[in-house]
C-alpha cells in the first residue's frame, strides 16, 4: 500500500512539473503593516498605494505574485498581490496593507509571525 502511494505521488509530481505547475514554497517570518501616511504614494510597481487594498510588499517576489499569508498565532489567512518592494536589509518578511492586517487580526500587536506561500507567480521560487 505504501509503495503504491509512493508511485502515485511520484507520478503526480512528475506530471505536475511537466505541465508547468509550481510546487509552492513556504516562507516564515514577521509581518507588519503600512502607516496611513503611505496612502496615495506610488509603490515600486508604479501603482498608487491604498491601505484599503489587499496588496503587500516583499523583498524579491515578482510584482503581481499572489501569496497566501497565514497568521500563525490565530490561523487567519488571506490572499494578497505583491505590488511593492521592501529593502533587502529589512528584517520583516512582508509588509501588508492595513486592510490585510485587520483580516489577519494583528493590528493591535503591530507585528505577526506569518507564513507566506506563493499561489501564483511568474517566477517559480522565492529569491532569497
- Tell me the per-residue pLDDT of 100-121, one tens digit each, with 9 for 90 and over: 999 999 999 999 999 999 998 7
Q: So what's the architecture of 24-120 in CATH?
A: Beta Barrel (2.40)
Percentage of the chain beyond pLDDT 90 is: 73
When pLDDT is averaged across residues 52-81 and rounded to a whole number, the result is 95
Other CB atoms within 10 Å distance of the CB of residue 102: 15
**pLDDT the model gives residue 19:** 45
Taking every pair of Cα atoms in the chain, the longest distance, rounded to a whole number of angstroms, is: 59
Rounded to whole angstroms, the Cα distance separating 59 from 47 reads 17
Which pLDDT does position 124 carry in this prediction? 47
How many CA atoms are closer than 13 Å to the CA of 73, on its beta-carbon side? 11
Q: Could you state, in order of their start, the residue ranges of all structural domains in the chain?
A: 24-120
3-state secondary structure of 117: strand
Distance CA 62, CA 54 (A): 16
Q: How confident is the model at residue 10 (pLDDT cuts 50, 70, 90)?
A: low
Q: Which residues of 62-88 are buried (b: 16+ CB within 10 A; e: fewer)?
A: ebebebbbbbeeeebebebbbbbbbee
Q: Is the pLDDT of residue 45 over 80?
A: yes
The residues with which 26 forms a beta bridge, in sequence order, are 117
Q: Going by C-beta distance under 8 Å and a sequence separation of 6 or more, which residues neighbour residue 63?
A: 44, 45, 82, 83
pTM: 0.76
Amino acid at each position: 500500500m505504501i509503495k503504491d502511494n509512493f508511485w502515485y505521488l511520484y507520478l503526480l509530481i512528475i506530471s505536475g512539473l511537466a505541465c508547468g505547475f509550481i510546487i509552492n514554497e513556504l516562507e516564515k517570518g514577521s509581518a507588519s503593516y503600512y502607516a496611513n501616511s503611505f496612502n496615495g504614494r506610488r509603490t515600486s510597481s508604479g501603482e498608487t498605494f491604498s491601505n484599503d487594498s489587499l496588496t503587500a510588499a516583499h523583498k524579491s517576489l515578482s510584482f503581481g505574485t499572489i501569496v497566501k499569508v497565514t497568521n500563525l498565532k490565530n490561523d487567519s489567512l488571506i490572499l494578497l498581490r505583491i505590488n511593492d518592494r521592501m529593502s533587502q536589509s529589512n528584517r520583516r518578511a512582508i509588509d501588508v496593507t492595513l486592510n490585510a492586517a485587520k483580516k489577519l487580526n494583528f493590528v493591535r500587536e503591530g507585528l505577526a509571525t506569518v507564513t507566506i506561500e506563493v499561489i501564483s507567480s511568474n517566477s517559480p521560487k522565492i529569491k532569497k
